[in-house]
Structure 1
Amino acid sequence: MTWGIVEERTACIGQQAAGPLRDFGVAHMIELSDALVGRRGNGIKIYGREAFAGMHRIGRIAAECLDMLAAHVRPGITTEAIDKLVFDFGMAHAALPAQLMYRGYRHSCCTSLNHVVCHGQPNDKPLREGDIINIDVTFIRDGWHGDSSRMYTVGEVPRRAMRLIEITYESLMRGIAVVRPGATTGDIGAAIQEFAEAERCSVVRDFCGHGIGLEFHEQPSILHFGRRGEGVPLEPGMIFTIEPMINLGRPQVKVLSDGWTAVTRDRSLSAQFEHTIGVTETGADIFTLSPAGLHCPPYASAA
């Protein structure tokens, strides 16, 4: 889930209501001393091996949920139905959707369609041929938060929409590629911005990635634009999301009257991908990679 920069609005997440309560592993949470090995003066947590193991487990659940959805995203399904699939998947895996009632958000995922940039709320409108949609999920298990999102195509989509999706995915992976000790958060943003703008797209500046781990949103903020060498230096043990939102048109967005849904002001298409990663001694450890290899549409194996 993205973090709002200007209004400090957190990313998508909300909730859905119920079924029987499950044991989400709270009683079995690892000792904090085994997971959190340091904290910097700027509030950034430095996590240890036990934390990385926990993040791999919850990250895989988030990734498997997104894998599962690939077979369901097709013309005629509603985003409410997708939301229920996400909730049910979490219950089946003893994982709580973190969005559930987060700051009053009443759904288990965010479903951002076409010109919706982020935080789109599930509803009863069916998806139509040619739509593109981002589905953003976050789960909690054993105290750890796993946050990821992917784009999906609904039937055949226009070439310009597919091109935007491809550019956005490549932007994310270029941002991840620069992560290593000694790099900075500005290096991440610059890698994303330089590529997206070279492809004549724009980078949304109102929302950013964020630290994550024992809490949904932690420090540091990960801007998807910036200058190399600026920002927070990266060091092993840091955990955060990278989740660029890329528009075909201009970067400006507005938040609708529901207080959540952010859309492009010019109604141009927008796309987003997100991974949760940890900084290692040599680079980035991606916790939310697809076990099924469904990284970017088209998801042929999901048919």
Structure 2
Amino acid sequence: MIEILDPAQLPRAREAGALVAHILQNLKSRSSVGTNLLDIDRWAKAMIVEAGAVSCYVDYAPSFGRGPFGHYICTSVNDAVLHGLPHDYPLADGDLLSLDLAVSVGGVVADSAISFVVGDSKPPQSVALISATERALAAGIAAAGPGARIGDISHAIGSTLHGAGYSVNTEFGGHGVGSTMHQDPHVSNTGRPGRGYRLRPGLLLALEPWVMADTAALVTDADGWTLRSATGCRTAHSEHTIAITDDGVEILTLPERTPR
């Protein structure tokens, strides 16, 4: 299903996006050497509940996971890139941490992810991975707008990632959002321009380029959720929710937004 929001729903989408951005930045500021992933999950829960929002993850049970997820945020460390199940792990200096969060406010969902290095060590490979996903995300957003096609976004993201020297996995990518977290259309992280669904005002998309340093193959942890690079290499993931408007694109999950 492809859901198109009416103008009256956009303020709720903005509120959801602002909350997601606020929580992610708060968690980033609190994530230091020794911080336990279970503490991050606990802090996320407290902020979601305090805001009167609804977690999209706790009861999430798709066909590809061993559901329900049972936690409030995805915490993926180093070679883990997607759906990282929070567990008893204290962060170490130089760990590359990806946080992925989706919440619903007033029946409208926003979804975002950030990657960053914990502590004082800044491994060059990790910095390069994060930069590539952030640049790919910016390119995908720049390619979006009313009348553009999904393939235009996919091509922009893929061109950036390939240009940085990374291969691209197409099993998981961006997606529509609205009253639920995962909707059509699927937004692959590589593709051909001029193809696919034509974007319309009122469409919300979660764009999420992610890469692995030296492979495009994933393996699944015994927990049934956490997806890791098949070679054990490091990974990174960046994501924003955007709204297609009459005039262009509005990024709903920018950190500078202030939640109401």
TM-score of the two chains, using structure 1 as the length reference: 0.80
Deviation, structure 1 residue 124: 1.1
Match of 1:226, SS state, is coil
Offset of 1:152 from its aligned partner? Answer: 2.0
Q: By how many angstroms is 1:157 displaced? A: 2.0
Instruction: Report if the CA contact (8 A) 1:67-1:292 is conserved.
Output: no
The match for 1:216 among 181, 189, 192 is: 181
- Aligned residue for 1:106? 70
User: Which one of 209, 214, 232 corresponds to residue 267 of structure 1?
Assistant: 232
Q: Which amino acid aligns with 1:80?
A: L
Give the equivalent residue in structure 2 for 1:115.
79
Count of paired positions: 251
| Cα displacement string for residues 192-230 of structure 1 (whole angstroms, at most 9, x for unaligned residues) | 111111111122211011111111221111111101111
- Contact conserved, 1:206 with 1:253, CA < 8 A, in 2? no
What are the within-5 Å matches in structure 2 for residues 3-152 of structure 1? 43-103=1-61, 104-152=68-116
CA distances 1:53-111 after superposition (whole Å, capped 9, x unpaired): 11001110101001111221111001100000100011111112211121111110000
8 A Cα contact 1:73 1:152, kept in partner: no
TM-score by length of 2: 0.93
CA contact (8 A) 2:13 2:105 kept: no
Larger gyration radius, structure 1 or structure 2:
1
1:73·1:153 contact (CA, 8 Å) conserved in 2? Answer: no
Q: Any residues of structure 2 matched to 1:159-198 within 5 Å, and which?
A: 159-198=124-163
Counterpart Cα distance in 2 of 1:180 and 1:122: 35
The 1-side partners of 2:214 and 2:136 are apart by 16
Equivalent residue letter for 1:258 = D
Higher relative contact order (CA 8 A, sep 6+): 2
SS of residue matched to 1:46: coil
Question: Matches of 1:127 and 1:46 in 2, distance apart?
Answer: 40
Question: How far did residue 181 of structure 1 move?
Answer: 1.6
Q: Is the 8 A contact 2:18 2:257 kept in 1?
A: no
Q: Is the 8 Å Cα contact of residues 256 and 262 (structure 1) preserved in structure 2?
A: yes
Gaps of 5+ in 2: 62-67
Separation in structure 1 between the aligned mates of residue 106 and residue 230 of structure 2, nearest angstrom: 40
Structure 1 match to 2:199: 234
Structure 2: distance between partners of 1:180 and 1:143: 24
List structure 1 segments (4+ residues) > 6 angstroms apart after TM superposition. none
How big is each residue's C-alpha offset from its partner over 1:20-74, in whole Å with a ceiling of 9 and x where there is no partner? xxxxxxxxxxxxxxxxxxxxxxx32221211211100111010100111122111
Q: Is contact 1:112-1:135 (8 Å) kept? A: yes
User: How far did 1:268 drift?
Assistant: 1.4
Determine the C-alpha separation between the residues in 2 that align with 1:202 and 1:289.
27
Q: Structure 1 unaligned segments of length 5 or more: list them.
A: 1-42, 294-303
Helix, strand or coil at the partner of 1:235: coil
